[in-house]
Each structure stands twice: as structure tokens, then as C-alpha cells.
């Protein structure tokens, strides 16, 4: 329930900035739930680029998209999101990272703080002003805890005039997953609303 609520909130924020015809990114395709959501939002004229290092995840996502007849809107990329700039050199309206391991897959294959941060930084450059990057973080497992600490430290150092950052967290369970939403501000002088 907790994670469904966090992901639903991520989707709710993203759908506010995605229009038909947009280019958007799923940095961690996994089983394709987020890719499918994005593919529906961008419509027939838009495109989704979806990354995953695991062939099993690419296969699973492909199957989901074919079932919902959305596969033609998505380019599946079996590579690390840290090389995102090899694949995209156009404006991106929105992106999602759903960190950790592939549900139902190998729990030892997880996202890594350095690769995640490299990809986030590169995507931040491609993101349009007003665009949002949603990052779902899982501090409840060992590597996830380290990744969470590292990301919070890096994100806290981002220029506050350029980025508005929201943290959405259900506070009663222990080490709950949470959402970071990074919005690129419209004007250099924009202040986060007090």
C-alpha cells in the first residue's frame, strides 16, 4: 500500500507536465508499469525512452507494452541510464527513476548511487524548464539506504533558484520508500514558494 501510494503520487505529478507529443524517459524500466503509464500520457505523437540494464526487464516491459498496444511509442534500451546522453539529445519533459531491484527478479542487481546521480545530472540538462524528474527511493534495504543517503546529500546541494524539490513520504512505517520530485524552475529568478 505504501509503495503504491508513493508511485501513484509520482504519476500524478508527472501527468501534470506531460502532454501529447512529448519526449519522456523511464530510467529504470523494470516490469514496465511506469513505462506503460508514460506511453499512455505521450499519445500517438510522443515517445518514451526506457532504460534497463537487465534483459529480463526489457523483455518484461516489451510484453506489457505489446499487450496494451503501446510498444510503438517506446524505445527500449538495454543499457545503463548513466549513458543516457548517448541516446537522447532533445528536450525531455519528464522522467521517472524507480530505484532498487527488479520485483520478481535478482535482488542483487540494484541501482547504484553514482550511476543514478550521473543519469540524473545528465537528464537535468535535457529537461525543459517546468519539467519534472520523479525518483522513487527505497532506503529499506542495505544498498538502498546508502543510495538514499547519497542522493539526499547531492540533491540538497542543487541550486535552489534552479530546482524546486519535493519529498513525499509516508511517515509511519520503518524506512519507508519515498518520492523525490525535482522540478526545473521556469525562470532563473524563481524562488521556491515559502
Cβ 194 to ligand SAM shortest distance, Å: 34
Residues contacting 142, CB < 8 A, separation 6+: none
Answer yes or no whether residue 57 interacts with ligand SAM by CB under 6 A: yes
Angle separating helix axes 33-42 and 55-67, nearest 10 degrees: 50
- Distance CA(115)–CA(61), nearest Å, equals 21
Cβ 193 to ligand SAM shortest distance, Å: 30
Answer yes or no whether residue 3 interacts with ligand SAM by CB under 6 A: no
Among positions 149-178, residues that touch ligand SAM (CB under 6 A) are: none
Cβ 30 to ligand SAM shortest distance, Å: 2
Answer yes or no whether residue 51 interacts with ligand SAM by CB under 6 A: yes
Phi and psi angles of residue 90, each rounded to the nearest 5 degrees, phi first:
-135, 165
**Other CB atoms within 10 Å distance of the CB of residue 10:** 23
- Distance CA(25)–CA(4), nearest Å, equals 20
When binding is defined by CB under 6 A, the residue of 11, 46, 100, 131 that contacts ligand SAM is 100
Site string for ligand SAM, 59-88 (x = CB under 6 A): ---------------------xxx------
Answer yes or no whether residue 28 interacts with ligand SAM by CB under 6 A: yes
- Distance CA(94)–CA(92), nearest Å, equals 6
Interacting stretch for ligand SAM, rule CB under 6 A, among 14-22, 41-49, 93-101, 121-129?
Answer: 93-101
- Distance CA(174)–CA(145), nearest Å, equals 12
Nearer to ligand SAM, 45 or 66 (CB): 66
When binding is defined by CB under 6 A, the residue of 2, 15, 54, 154 that contacts ligand SAM is 54
Q: Is the dihedral of CA 89, 34, 14, 188 positive or negative?
A: negative
Indicate the pairing of strand 23-26 with strand 47-51: parallel
Nearer to ligand SAM, 80 or 93 (CB): 80
- Residues near ligand SAM, by CB under 6 A: 28-34, 51-54, 57, 80-82, 98, 100-102, 109, 111, 115
Amino acid at each position: 500500500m505504501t509503495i503504491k501510494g508513493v508511485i501513484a503520487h509520482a504519476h500524478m505529478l508527472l501527468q501534470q507536465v506531460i502532454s501529447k507529443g512529448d519526449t519522456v524517459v523511464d530510467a529504470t524500466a523494470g516490469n514496465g508499469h511506469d513505462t506503460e503509464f508514460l506511453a499512455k500520457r505521450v499519445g500517438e505523437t510522443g515517445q518514451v525512452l526506457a532504460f534497463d540494464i537487465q534483459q529480463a526487464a526489457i523483455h518484461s516491459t516489451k510484453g506489457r507494452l505489446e499487450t496494451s498496444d503501446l510498444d510503438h511509442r517506446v524505445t527500449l534500451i538495454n543499457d545503463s541510464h548513466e549513458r543516457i546522453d548517448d541516446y537522447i539529445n532533445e528536450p525531455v519533459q519528464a522522467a521517472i527513476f524507480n530505484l532498487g531491484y527488479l520485483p520478481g527478479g535478482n535482488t542483487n542487481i540494484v541501482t547504484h548511487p553514482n550511476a543514478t546521480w550521473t543519469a540524473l545530472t545528465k537528464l537535468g540538462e535535457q529537461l525543459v524548464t517546468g519539467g519534472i524528474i520523479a525518483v522513487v527511493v527505497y532506503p529499506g534495504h542495505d544498498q538502498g539506504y546508502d543510495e538514499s543517503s547519497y542522493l539526499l546529500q547531492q540533491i540538497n546541494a542543487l541550486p535552489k533558484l534552479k530546482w524546486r524539490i519535493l519529498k513525499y513520504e509516508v511517515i509511519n512505517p520503518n524506512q519507508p520508500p519515498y518520492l523525490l520530485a525535482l522540478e526545473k524552475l521556469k525562470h532563473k529568478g524563481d524562488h521556491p514558494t515559502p
